[in-house]
Amino acid sequence: MIIRPLSAKQMKAARALLDWSQEDLANAAQLSVATIRKLELGHISPRDSTMRLIRQAIESAGIEFMDADGVRRCFEDISVFTVPNGMSQLFDDIKQTVQKNGGHIAIMASSMDDLREVFGRNFEKMDELFNQASSVSIQCLITKAEPELEIIQGANIRSISRKYVDTISFCVYGDKYAPFPTTSGAWTKIVSVKSSAMADAFRAQFASLWDKTMPTQTPVHAKGRQSKKKSGK
């Protein structure tokens, strides 16, 4: 496949949008700084393999190229999951994202029942996440005052008073943010937004709230899982 060459203007404009130096682009594309410099000066014609590396590096950073020497930031990707399978579709998207990138999942839920809507009645779907990627970590904040929180293998759960947060439930996974419905049933769709900036903002908010809480349980680390209650001792 022939890769359409980028113009020197496009490369410079893309670097400007990303606030990258020539060294930054060279590192991202795994090329030498001299190659980037010569391309931008027009001193050499790039090979297809070289152009492919440069395109991949810049596009992976959130920039897309247009005709007539244009560049722009990519628009945010939005996925819509509708009833009656919206929660299942949300989990599938979480699973695919984690399988591809690994990483941290942060969930704010109104109650344990809301958490079950995503991960199954006995949280059996969490096994799928942990079995496919050892780098996965799950943190959950529950805003409903519940006398007992269930112990879930591999997940860290804490409770927080609603005086600190709104009642909306949401999930941050990878570079995506998705508010999801409570068990009230007053909803028709779930919207997941792929936006690194938004995901980072909500993850930072979650971390701030997490620091205001105290651990309410110790996760079980046994093979397999059975739903258990925290001991009253």
Contacts of 156 (CB under 8 A, 6+ apart): 137, 138, 139, 140, 215, 219
Q: Looking at per-residue confidence, does 20 or 168 come out higher? A: 20
Residue 79 per-residue DSSP state: E
Whether 207 shows a pLDDT value over 70: the answer reads yes
3-state secondary structure of 224: coil
Please indicate whether residue 205 or residue 218 has the higher confidence score (pLDDT).
Answer: 205
For each of the domains in the chain, give its residue range(s) and CATH number, in order of start: 8-73 (1.10.260.40), 77-219 (3.30.870.10)
Question: Torsion angle of alpha carbons 46, 47, 53, 55, nearest 10°?
Answer: 60
Contact (CB, 8 A) for 95 and 195: no
Radius of gyration of the chain (CA): 22
Peptide bond into 84 cis (omega under 30): yes
Task: Please compute the mean of the pLDDT values over residues 67-86 and round it to a whole number.
Answer: 77
CB contact at 8 A, 150 and 166:
no
User: Could you tell me the pLDDT band of residue 232, with boundaries at 50, 70 and 90?
Assistant: very low
Q: Over the stretch 120-155, which tens digit does the pLDDT of each residue have? A: 888 888 888 887 666 788 999 988 777 666 667 778
Position with higher pLDDT, 196 vs 54: 54
Average pLDDT over residues 167-178: 86
More confident residue, 167 or 54: 54
Return the pLDDT at 169.
82
Q: What is the pLDDT of residue 31?
A: 94
Mean pLDDT, rounded, for 172-195: 78
Residues near 122 by beta carbon (within 8 Å), at least 6 away in sequence: 225, 226, 227
Q: In this structure, what token pair is assigned to residue 171?
A: 């999930």
Check pLDDT > 70 for residue 100. Answer: yes
Residue 27 pLDDT level (bands cut at 50, 70, 90): very high
- pLDDT (0 to 100) of residue 216: 53
For residue 140, what are its two tokens? 């959950």
Give the chain's mean pLDDT: 79
Token representation of residue 109:
């839920």
Give the residue with greater pLDDT, 25 vs 100: 25
